[in-house]
Amino acid sequence: MMLRSHLSFGLLAYIILFVNAVTLPFLGTLNQPGLLATVFYLVGLITPDIDSPNSFISRKVRAAHTVTNIFSKHRGFVHSIFTGALLTLGIGFLLSLKEYDLAIAGWFFIGYLIHLLTDAMTPHGVKLFAPLSPYTLRGPIRTGSTHEKVISLLVYSAALLIIAKNFTNLL
Ligand SMILES: [Zn+2]
């Protein structure tokens, strides 16, 4: 999926979570994220494509891409729920040292998960449980296709409608 599609689904999920309190075990309630939680959410949303040579994140953080590439090809184990969980644990550990709210790590994980689920809509799919299982979750939407652009636009529109309904007097 293209970056803008990840961002559109990311925005929709963020808005839905923002207006509904969601509580996760260990991580607390995820409503009303602060600035830091939002930044971590965005980082989680774009981090999985560190395994792709031409992605936004790989171009920004070349060194991290080079290191990742030694171990993984595009949509290999980096596009796995376990890698997301492992990174979340690491972030949670670092946050706890500084006595930050652990929900920030939860937001990172949700961003990561939204990225994986969005990629799972493509024919290439995602090995969600790699390396434990080769099961690939796939969908019919080709990356860069008109379908993807239309869906991305619809998702943005849905997010904007929810924003307009909850935070303005327009609707
Ligand atoms: Zn991806």
**162 CA to middle of ligand 1, Å?**
26
The DSSP annotation for 58-73 comes to HHHSHHHHHHHHHH--
The contacts of residue 161 (CB under 8 Å, 6+ apart) are 171
pLDDT at res. 28: 65
For the chain, give the mean pLDDT.
92
State the distance from the centre of ligand 1 to the C-alpha of 78, rounded, in angstroms.
9
Helix (H, G, I), strand (E, B), or coil: what is residue 22? coil
Domain that holds residue 38: 3-167
What is the model's pTM? 0.91
Can you name the residues that pair with 137 across neighbouring β-strands? 126
Give the residue carrying structure tokens 């961003």.
111
Tell me, what's the pLDDT at 26? 66
Bridge partners of 23, per DSSP, are 29
How far does residue 67's CA lie from ligand 1's centre (Å)?
17
- Please give the tally of structural domains in the chain: 1
Please report the pLDDT score of residue 27 as a whole number: 62
Question: Cα torsion for 43, 45, 48, 52, to the nearest 10°?
Answer: -90
Q: Token digits for 15?
A: 């808005």
What tens digit of pLDDT does each residue of 3-33 get? 999 999 999 999 998 888 777 776 666 667 8
Q: What is the mean pLDDT of residues 105-111?
A: 94
